[in-house]
Structure 1
Amino acid sequence: MTTVQRIHVTENERQIFDLLLRAVGNFSPKTKLRVAGGWVRDKNIECLLLSLNGYLRSQGEDEVQGHVIESKPAQEGKQKPTLETVKMSLYNHSIDLVHLRRDVYARGSRIPVKVVFASLEEDAFRRALTINSLFYNIHTGLVEDLTGRG
């Protein structure tokens, strides 16, 4: 596992993470919490954009403008199977809590037929886009790259 970097966490995000850490510490102290997917990707894209603009400024070039494009909802009839998800709102943020997972495919198909519980590494390697395999470890405050390709 490669530790990538620390990322900026807003006060509101810190409140959410602290609440989750306290709750898990109370009922399941061995559980490790991580944030995966879009939030970590977006935070790293913001860092990449800032770094790129810093480089461009140092070279006397114009900065680039950018933003993250939100994903589109799945199309009707093309939903893949999922594990249970807890959806909630904490401090004005929508939060989804899910288990680590891996997809099981039929031979020759790209559509999963089953979703099963998995290890942290299996979850990281199943992700289609390598930057989505980055995890933010709430306990350490570090971004983790289990694939080495995030």
Structure 2
Amino acid sequence: MAAGAQQPSIVPTELEQQIFGRLLDVVHHGGLGTQLRVAGGWVRDKLLGKNSTDIDIALDDLTGKEFCEKITDYYEKVISHELKTPCVIPCKPGQSKHLETAKIILSDISDITIDFVNLRSEKYAENSRIPTAEYGMPEEDAFRRDLTINSLFYNINTNLVEDLTRRGLEDLKKGLIVTPLPAKVTFLDDPLRVLRAIRFAARFSFTLAENLKEAASDEKVKLNLRSKISRERIGQEVDHMMSGKYPVDAMCHIRDLGLFYIVFAFPEKTVPPVLDKHDWYVHVLICN
């Protein structure tokens, strides 16, 4: 965003205000200094004028489990309302869960599941897409994310949108798909982010940045996508693309970036099926 430009704001719905207010009550009751930031998709969607119930809270000084324990303690002592025990999801690096996440429902207010996780930084080994995750500062957490449009925060304590990569808001305004760090570095660290970039480009009819397309087409990135990412994870991303409004756009991006035979590769030692006339037509349409 250019210097002097007006900072965009988010006006939470009445229900969201209730939820955020309750979380701040927990902070104040516990004498905590915790900053509560809604991260990623909710912020992006609200700025695009879309509704979202995907509330992910990033914490600066507590784990998700620790903060959920503060919530349940507050409910027990102040509200006299018993919450269901928070669901704690342990690290599952193979499924892209690199840090423990806690989930809770403020059942006296809504049935929305709220996720809590601490801010983090990530470091990748050369031969793995599974990072070593550590506590991080807000800016470190923003830069380790896949795309600038997904790196924005909404600080509940201050009611301000935070653009710590200093280009997320501008890219959202322009409809541009860009990585916070150099695209090739980002994709070599985690090649699955190539497909996430394609998915979001198709979902919002946004434009893939030229340096991102160059990086996604790089032969080493393609090799890593083939060798580092399981067929299951690739399939999940394709499912998201196909269930969106513009699946053809996603398939065209995959074709244009030279990724078709990687994304839709047959398993090794499997004889490709014989395609009927209709299948051949679809195959030719996509691949040419």
Match of 1:88 in 2: 104
- Tell me which of 10, 18, 31 is aligned to 2:21: 18
**Residue 126 (structure 2) pairs with residue 107 (structure 1):** yes
Where relative contact order (Cα < 8 A, 6+ residues apart) is larger, the structure is: 1
Q: 1:113/1:145 Cα in 2 relative to 1: closer, same or farther (>3 Å)?
A: closer
Match of 1:59 in 2: none
Secondary structure of 1:124's partner?
A: helix
Secondary structure of 2:8's partner?
A: strand
Match for 2:98: what amino acid? T
Q: 1:46/1:115 Cα in 2 relative to 1: closer, same or farther (>3 Å)?
A: same
Please identify which structure carries the higher strand content: 1
Secondary structure of 2:33's partner?
A: coil
Match of 2:158 in 1: 140
Please identify which structure carries the higher helix content: 2
Does the aligned pair in 1 maintain the 2:98–2:131 contact within 8 Å? Answer: no
Measure the CA separation in 1 of the matches of 2:23 and 2:31. 11
* RMSD, matched Cα: 2.6
Measure the CA separation in 1 of the matches of 2:135 and 2:96. 15
**Residue 135 (structure 2) pairs with residue 117 (structure 1):** yes
Match of 1:35 in 2: 38
Does the aligned pair in 2 maintain the 1:81–1:114 contact within 8 Å? Answer: no
Measure the CA separation in 2 of the matches of 1:6 and 1:36. 15
Measure the CA separation in 2 of the matches of 1:87 and 1:32. 18
- Please state how far the C-alpha of 1:81 moved relative to its aligned partner: 4.2
**Residue 23 (structure 2) pairs with residue 4 (structure 1):** no
Match for 2:153: what amino acid? F
- Report the identity percentage: 50
Q: If the length of structure 2 is used for normalisation, what is the TM-score?
A: 0.39
Match for 1:143: what amino acid? V
Q: If the length of structure 1 is used for normalisation, what is the TM-score?
A: 0.72
Q: 1:104/1:77 Cα in 2 relative to 1: closer, same or farther (>3 Å)?
A: closer
1:40-71 deviation per Cα after TM superposition (whole angstroms, max 9, x unaligned): 11111227xxxxxxxxxxxxxxxxxxx98x9x
Which has the higher Rg, Structure 1 or Structure 2?
Answer: 2
- Please state how far the C-alpha of 1:137 moved relative to its aligned partner: 0.8
Measure the CA separation in 2 of the matches of 1:149 and 1:137. 17
Measure the CA separation in 2 of the matches of 1:78 and 1:4. 38
- Tell me which of 116, 119, 126 is aligned to 2:144: 126
Q: 1:77/1:14 Cα in 2 relative to 1: closer, same or farther (>3 Å)?
A: closer
Structure 1 runs (4+) deviating above 4 angstroms are none
Which consecutive unaligned segments of at least 5 residues does structure 2 have? 55-91, 169-288
Does the aligned pair in 2 maintain the 1:103–1:112 contact within 8 Å? Answer: no
Measure the CA separation in 2 of the matches of 1:4 and 1:28. 30
Secondary structure of 2:131's partner?
A: strand
Q: 1:104/1:81 Cα in 2 relative to 1: closer, same or farther (>3 Å)?
A: farther
Which consecutive unaligned segments of at least 5 residues does structure 1 have? 48-66, 71-75
Measure the CA separation in 2 of the matches of 1:115 and 1:97. 16
